[in-house]
Amino acid sequence: MVSFLSLIPAFTVSVLVCSGAVVARGDVLELGDADFDYLAAEHETMLVKFYAPWCGHCKKLAPDFETAASRLKGTVPLAKVDCTASPDTCGRFGVTGYPTLKIFRNGEDSSSYDGPRSADGIVHYMKKQAGPNSVTLRSEADAEAFVNHFDASVTDQLPSYRSPLRLSRSVLLFRPPRLSSKFEESVLRFTETVTTHTLRRFIRDNIFGMCPHLTNENRDKLKGQDLLTAYYDLDYLRNPKGSNYWRNRVMKVGYQFASQGLSFAVANRRDFVDELEEEFGLGASDGGDMPFVTIRTQQGFKYTMREEFTRDGKSLERFLEDYFAGRLKRYIKSEPIPEKNKGPVKVVVAESFEEIVNDPEKDVLIEFYAPWCGHCKSLEPKYKELAEQLYSDPNIVIAKMDATANDVPQGFDVQGFPTIYFARADKKDQPKRYEGAREVKDFIKYLKREASHIPVVSGVREDL
């Protein structure tokens, strides 16, 4: 690691940071329509969870949210709003799915929370949100400790006027020493004209480097790109040398493909066991002691490397050659195609989506649901009645898909349940989200307006 003070003999450094309610149980504040505005305004920074009691994801998040609230007590308050009891507040802040997490500053909706949802991740993320915009480093010891941090560091040099070098002001980005590599520079100097826009772009483009350590804290930022990830027993605290052994091999191969638009990362497989199983069908034992590799694109396409990762990197090289040549088969999470599917509401799974929903001869109304969703259960009898009334119409299909057990195709944005889309026969590339009321008569009125053919309701053709 190059000594920071070898670059400047005398300096000042500032960090550019990127990055009375009722308490029923524990330390999470409970807010509602009656008190949200004036209680939220009492806090400079606050994280609010908007939820529904029946929501499975909300129940899963609850213990981590409570633990984080206890650890952040006195630093950043955490609050929750039951949207079934306080619909006005949730409506004002555009909550459409659960759980929705938002950061508020002095009572104003500041931004959506895009950090991890583990207790450790929430604590780490919100401490940064509540921290100072910059700190001053006043000694060599301060500087060395700062640039040798676990994460990347960004500094603004302000040399002393007594400095014999009389250096001009400049910004440096220090990559974490644990991730140093011969494939990229450890220190980058910002050379453009200093503006907010150019600085943000410089940090955004360089903060993670060629092959960062993917964690629960940075996952959302890294996954907004076409990303290859190698998962193995990575542990930079206890075994940094062993952790970099496989990372170096990923970088060596990845360096050959760096110009083709694919990003690379390494991760501890134990941190992502649930995601790997749910999203890629990979168990904890897959790969053995060797890394296993996945690719997820911005479009949501997923690929897994089935050949064992070899120490010379050749298997990874072949995998990438096949990926860029378009020879890989996408991995799709799907329930089995039903053997019998003669009911009024057609059951769709990921493997049958193309055949049923994208059938160019059919108009299709499809509900994306979750088995635990209370609103979905309330809709079920009405949706079934709609399907029964349209059952004799050969041009319209009423369908449903469990979006928790199947991959939702691109073009269908499902953030909450139930979400309903209409895919017209002659416009399959332009599915329309249904935003109307959810009574049978409302669906029929919508289909009479949007369908490519006049609907046949209960065996009787309805005029427009």
For residue 388 the two structure tokens come to 């029964």
Structural element, H or E, at residue 173: strand 170-174
For residue 223 the two structure tokens come to 């996954």
Q: Which residue has the tokens 């994208």?
A: 358
Per mean pLDDT, which range of 214-223, 241-250, 309-318, 356-365 is the poorest?
Answer: 214-223
Confidence of residue 9 (pLDDT cuts 50, 70, 90): very low
For residue 38 the two structure tokens come to 């004036």
- Residues catalogued as catalytic: 55, 58, 373, 376
Please classify residue 115 by burial: count the beta carbons closer than 10 Å to its beta carbon, then call 0-12 exposed, 13-18 middle and 19+ buried: buried
Range 213-325: architecture per CATH: 3-Layer(aba) Sandwich (3.40)
- Mapping DSSP onto H, E and C, the string for 377-408 reads HHHHHHHHHHHHHCCCCCCEEEEEEECCCCCC
Q: Average pLDDT for residues 132-140, to the nearest whole number?
A: 70
Report the candidate in 56, 31, 35, 128 with the shortest Cα–Cα distance to residue 416.
56
Topology agreement, domain 140-207 and domain 346-450: yes
Confidence of residue 16 (pLDDT cuts 50, 70, 90): very low
Confidence of residue 137 (pLDDT cuts 50, 70, 90): confident
Terminal Cα distance for the chain, rounded? 75
Count CA within 13 A, CB hemisphere, residue 223: 16
Q: State the Cα–Cα distance between residues 121 and 116, nearest whole angstrom.
A: 5
Report the candidate in 277, 405, 399, 406 with the shortest Cα–Cα distance to residue 350.
406
The domain 29-130 belongs to what CATH superfamily? Glutaredoxin (3.40.30.10)
424: left (phi over 0), alpha (psi -120 to 50) or beta: beta
For residue 311 the two structure tokens come to 């120490």
Domain ranges (residues) in the chain: 29-130, 140-207, 213-325, 346-450
Q: Do the beta carbons of residue 119 and residue 110 sit within 8 Å?
A: no
Q: Is the N-terminal amide bond of 164 cis, ω within 30° of 0? A: no
Q: Looking at residue 12, what is its pLDDT?
A: 37
419-423: strand order across its sheet: 346-347, 396-402, 363-369, 419-423, 432-433
In this structure, how many other beta carbons lie within 10 angstroms of the beta carbon of residue 111? Answer: 10
Say if domain 140-207 classifies as CATH 3.40.190.10.
no
Say if domain 346-450 classifies as CATH 3.40.50.720.
no
The full DSSP string for 420-450 is EEEE-TT-TTS-EE--S--SHHHHHHHHHHH
Q: Looking at residue 413, what is its pLDDT?
A: 87
Q: Average pLDDT for residues 73-88, to the nearest whole number?
A: 92
Percentage of residues of the chain with pLDDT beyond 90: 52
Q: Return mean pLDDT, the chain.
A: 85
11: left (phi over 0), alpha (psi -120 to 50) or beta: beta
Q: State the Cα–Cα distance between residues 397 and 302, nearest whole angstrom.
A: 28
Question: How many helical (H) and strand (E) elements, i.e. helices and strands, does the chain have?
Answer: 13, 22
pTM of the model: 0.64
Q: Do the beta carbons of residue 131 and residue 17 sit within 8 Å?
A: yes
Residue 157 reports pLDDT greater than 80: no
Q: Do the beta carbons of residue 155 and residue 15 sit within 8 Å?
A: yes
Q: Which residues contact 93 (CB under 8 A, 6 or more apart)?
A: 50, 102, 109
Residue 173 reports pLDDT greater than 80: yes
Q: What number of residues does the chain have?
A: 464
